Amino acid sequence: RHDDQVGKFDWRQQYVGKLKFAFLEASPTSKKLIVATEENVVAALNSRSGEILWRHVDKGTPEGAVDAMLIHGQDAITVSNGGRILRSWETNIGGLNWEVLMDAGSFQMASLVGVQDAVKYVAILKKSSLLLHYLSNGYQKWTEHLPESEMVQYQLVYSHGTGVVHVVGISPQSHLSILTFSIEDGEMTRQIRVAAPWLRNLAGTCNIVEEAKLVCVNPATQSLYTLSLEVEEEMKEVPLQSLGLEFADISEARILSSQPNPARAPRPQFYLRLSPTHFALLQYRHGVMSLLRNFPQASLVTFATTGEKTVTAVLACKGEGEGFSCPAQSYTVNLYLAETGQRLLDTLITFTLEKSSIRPEQLFIQVFLKKDDSVGYRALVQTEDHLLLFLQQPGKIWWTREESLAEVVSLEMVDLPLTGAQAELEGEFGKKAGKERRGRKRRGENDVLPRWLEADACKVSLAFIACCSVLLK
In a domain, 306, yes or no: yes
Kindly report, residue by residue over 171-216, the tens digit of the pLDDT: 999 999 999 999 999 999 999 999 999 999 999 899 999 999 999 9
For the chain, the domain total comes to 1
- Distance set, CA 407 to CA 64, 299, 332, 461 (Å): 16, 26, 29, 14
pLDDT score at 362:
97
Q: Give the lowest-confidence range in 34-48, 151-165, 239-253.
A: 239-253
pLDDT score at 377:
94
In a domain, 314, yes or no: yes
pLDDT score at 430:
58
pLDDT score at 424:
72
**Residue 319 pLDDT > 90, yes or no?**
no
**Residue 433 pLDDT > 60, yes or no?**
no
Residue type, 362: Q
pLDDT score at 462:
38
In a domain, 346, yes or no: yes
**Cα dihedral 141/147/151/157 (nearest 10):** -40
CA distance 214 to 471: 44
In a domain, 470, yes or no: no
Residues of the domain holding 372: 302-405
In a domain, 40, yes or no: no
Higher pLDDT, 465 or 190: 190
In a domain, 265, yes or no: no
Contact 214, 202 (CB under 8 A): no
Q: What percent of the chain is modeled with pLDDT above 70? A: 86
Burial 9-34 (b: 16+ CB within 10 A, else e): eeeeebbbbbbbbbbbbbeeeeebbb
pLDDT-derived band at 457, boundaries 50, 70, 90: very low
Contact 246, 291 (CB under 8 A): no
pLDDT score at 338:
97
Kindly report, residue by residue over 115-160, the tens digit of the pLDDT: 988 999 999 999 999 999 999 999 999 999 999 999 999 999 999 9
Burial 345-365 (b: 16+ CB within 10 A, else e): eebebebebeeeeebbbbbbb
**Residue 74 pLDDT > 90, yes or no?**
yes
Q: What is the mean pLDDT of residues 234-260?
A: 91
Q: Residues 6 or more apart from 140 whose CB is under 8 A from it?
A: 100, 131, 132, 133, 134
In a domain, 330, yes or no: yes
In a domain, 118, yes or no: no
CA distance 261 to 310: 11
**Residue 325 pLDDT > 50, yes or no?**
yes
